[in-house]
Amino acid sequence: MKNLTTGVCIIFTMLLFAGNALAQQNRLADIPAEQRAQLQTQRMKETLHLDSAQAEKVSAINLSYARKMDPIIAGSGSKLSKLRAFQQVNAAKEKELQMVLSQQQFRQFKQQQQEMKQEIKKRKS
């Protein structure tokens, strides 16, 4: 019974994030991958205080993964399948970023992601 309750909670959480991701999907589809990557890199430069070498590597990572997101954003799959695809791409991106960022910068990056998720939840409510 406990496993069933846990499973239901996990599915509910995933669907909650799927709705948020798809609400933002329309806006994302209007922004080219290059511009999304540039905006992400600029924000990371400012908030994580990247040095020039890090900024160059982070820019390349952001561009690569923004391009990988394009088919997902434009795709016609279900909300859940798109959410899973987003999560897979983001997990791979985080692994690459972890190799470039210091431990402190990566912790700060993860904290910022959590704060953004909380902000999205607040807007949704």
- Tell me: the pLDDT tens digits for 55-94? 999 999 999 999 999 999 988 889 899 999 999 999 999 9
| Per-residue pLDDT tens digits for 26-57 | 577 789 999 999 999 999 999 999 999 999 99
Which amino acid appears at position 81 of this protein? S
Domain range list for the chain: 2-124
pLDDT-based confidence at 15, cuts 50/70/90?
low
Which amino acid appears at position 42 of this protein? Q
Q: What is the pLDDT of residue 13?
A: 54
The C-alpha R_g of the chain, in whole angstroms, comes to 16
Quickly tell me which residue has 């993860």 as its tokens: 110
pLDDT-based confidence at 114, cuts 50/70/90?
very high
- The residue that leads in pLDDT, 5 or 100, is 100
pTM: 0.75
* C-alpha–C-alpha distance, residues 27 and 5, integer Å: 34
Quickly tell me which residue has 């205080």 as its tokens: 49
